[in-house]
Amino acid sequence: MIVAVCDDLQADRDVLVSYCKRYKDEYKMPMDILQFANAGELLQSQQARASDLIFLDIYMEGASGMDAAHILRNKGFDGAIVFTTTSQEHYAQGYEVEALHYLNKPVTWENFLEAIHRVRKHAGRDVKTIRVSNGAMFLDVPLDTICFIEVSGRKTILHTTRHNIVNRESLSLIEERLGGDPFLRCYRYYIINMDHVLRLNDQGFLMTNKQLIPISRDNRREIRTHYLSYVFDKVEVK
């Protein structure tokens, strides 16, 4: 879990960071904690845009937390936003950016717990993930956000609904860790998530991000059969 804390007051930022560390230790929750002193720093950070949760102060010098939240949502951020504030006047605006919770300052441990438990409940604690390294930190990537994975030189790139993650594991090792459906090795250099296929044509798989992924010529029939069987099984289950 990646948690970002954005507050222009060092003391308030320290409180939330200490709570995150305490929660990480007491609840045995893998957590990477990022800190930002203003909205500008937050918005410029690629790691922040990959966060699962952002604690965002509303009243800051320069751009406000509410402004930052609007920008993040407009750029496709789909993680949880929890506002910290000294006033209740912006509660209604929180609906516009799908804020999940508000924390009134000074933030207590009990109120922090309420917020983070709500975030976890909303996200679903049984969400399946795969842990990968981007070279700077480990990321727990929800499997359902992965569109496809490709080989690029000596690296693999995970194309997700949020961002792309560059990893140094081999595609075969990642394929083994993914554990099969809905992931399909359709070509030497590609693994697709069949849940992210828009349609199958003679050229390959058209994905939800509009990328066209080729199909192996040698295994074309088996791959097409596997995909169509998966789709039909899903329809029957529904």
Statement: residue 237 has pLDDT above 50:
no
- One domain, residues 70 and 159: no
Residues 82 and 174 in one domain: no
pLDDT at residue 96, rounded to an integer: 75
Average pLDDT over every residue of 71-97: 82
Q: What is the per-residue pLDDT across 42-80, written as a single tens digit (0 to 9) for each?
A: 999 988 888 999 999 999 988 899 999 999 998 888 899
Sequence-separated (6 or more) residues with CB below 8 Å from residue 83: 56, 57, 58, 65, 66, 69, 90, 94, 99, 101, 102, 103
Predicted pLDDT at 100: 87
Do residues 11 and 77 both lie within one domain? yes
Where among 91, 124, 157 does a domain terminate?
124
Report the greatest alpha carbon distance in the chain. 64
- Domain with 48, as residue range(s), is 2-124
Q: Decide which of 46 and 173 is more confident.
A: 173
Higher-confidence position of 162 and 186: 186
CATH number of 88's domain = 3.40.50.2300
